[in-house]
């Protein structure tokens, strides 16, 4: 699949992914660029029916978690590096915000490399943002030690659907040459016009009894109170299982 044509796949056939193909995908992830070649991430592979059933409720019971062939949970991991330092009488220095950010970027780059490799092999993928809301129960389900934090997740399988390509903002909306050029109200209205006029999005607005799509996103899908509650839980988990170790 060409990158410009990529689409999210949420429905999969029952066909399994053979070991050779899975290892190719995982190797592509590990070969992705990372900071200092420290490889501050780990990938948890869930492919048993039992394992997927255990994870499904933690991803708000989205059907693709059980229907896919493989779930890949990609984690920040300073645990491995810290243990390497310990056995070599080296000071541990990564349990801080800087390296949480560095390792998160490394994990994201690894994940996208695996997504591209899967699509190259004719597989479909779906990113699951629910990891950000359910960091503690997912960590418990996957037996993650301190210093290992789940940051993103991929479901992978053979597509059972060919959904339309999801709309994007115009390229000029997200690309800035030489320096950031802030947006005027007129810019914003022009950039979001096509998305707002999409019939399915207009239906979305009506179904939620809102005046516009921005209100649906900020007040229904990602309301401030919910964001703050999950942020507090995430911060508390990081303090106990990442920064203090």
The residues spanned by each domain of the chain are 3-163
Cβ partners under 8 Å of residue 167, min gap 6: 194, 195, 198
> What does the alpha-carbon distance between residue 74 and residue 77 come to, in Å, rounded to a whole number?
9
pLDDT (0 to 100) of residue 244: 73
pLDDT of residue 1: 58
Distances (CA, A) of 128 to 56, 65, 74: 11, 9, 11
117-156 burial, b at 16+ Cβ within 10 Å, e below that, comes to bbbebebbbbebebbebbbbebbebbebeebbbbbbbbbb
Do residues 65 and 11 touch, judged by C-beta distance below 8 A? no
Along the chain (245 residues), what's the average pLDDT of each consecutive run of 10 residues?
77 97 98 96 98 98 97 98 96 94 97 97 96 96 97 97 89 96 96 94 95 96 95 96 84
Q: What is the pTM of this model?
A: 0.93
Q: Which CATH number fits domain 3-163: 3.60.20.10, 3.10.20.30, 3.40.109.10, 3.40.630.30?
A: 3.40.109.10
pLDDT, position 102: 97
The answer to whether 200 and 189 are in contact (CB under 8 A) is no
The residue with tokens 């699951």 is 128
pLDDT (0 to 100) of residue 53: 98
Q: Give which of 108, 105, 134, 100 is closest to 243, Cα–Cα.
A: 100
Nearest to 104 by CA among 126, 135, 83: 135
Q: What is the reported pLDDT for 164?
A: 86
What's the pLDDT at 5?
72
The whole-angstrom separation of Cα 41 and Cα 153 is 13
């Amino acid at each position: 699949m060409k990158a410009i044509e990529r689409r999210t796949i949420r429905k999969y056939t029952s066909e399994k992914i053979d070991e050779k193909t899975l290892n190719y995908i995982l190797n592509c992830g590990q070969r992705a660029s990372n900071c200092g070649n420290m490889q501050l991430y780990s990938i948890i592979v869930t492919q048993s029916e039992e394992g997927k059933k255990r994870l499904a409720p933690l991803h708000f019971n989205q059907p693709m978690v059980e229907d896919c062939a493989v779930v890949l949970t990609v984690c920040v991991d300073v645990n491995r590096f810290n243990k390497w330092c310990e056995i070599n009488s080296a000071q541990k220095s990564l349990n801080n915000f800087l390296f949480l950010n560095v390792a998160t970027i490394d994990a994201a780059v690894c994940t996208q490399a695996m997504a591209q490799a899967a699509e190259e092999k004719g597989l479909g993928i779906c990113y699951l943002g629910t990891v950000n809301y359910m960091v503690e129960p997912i960590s418990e389900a996957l037996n993650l030690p301190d210093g290992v934090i789940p940051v993103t997740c991929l479901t992978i399988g053979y597509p059972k659907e060919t959904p339309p390509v999801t709309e994007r903002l115009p390229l000029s909306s997200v690309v800035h040459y030489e320096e950031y050029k802030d947006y005027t109200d007129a810019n914003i209205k022009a950039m979001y016009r096509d998305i707002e006029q999409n019939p399915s999005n207009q239906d979305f607005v009506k179904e939620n009894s809102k005046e516009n799509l921005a209100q649906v996103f900020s007040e229904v899908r990602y309301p401030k109170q919910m964001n703050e509650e999950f942020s507090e839980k995430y911060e508390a988990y990081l303090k106990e299982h990442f920064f203090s170790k």
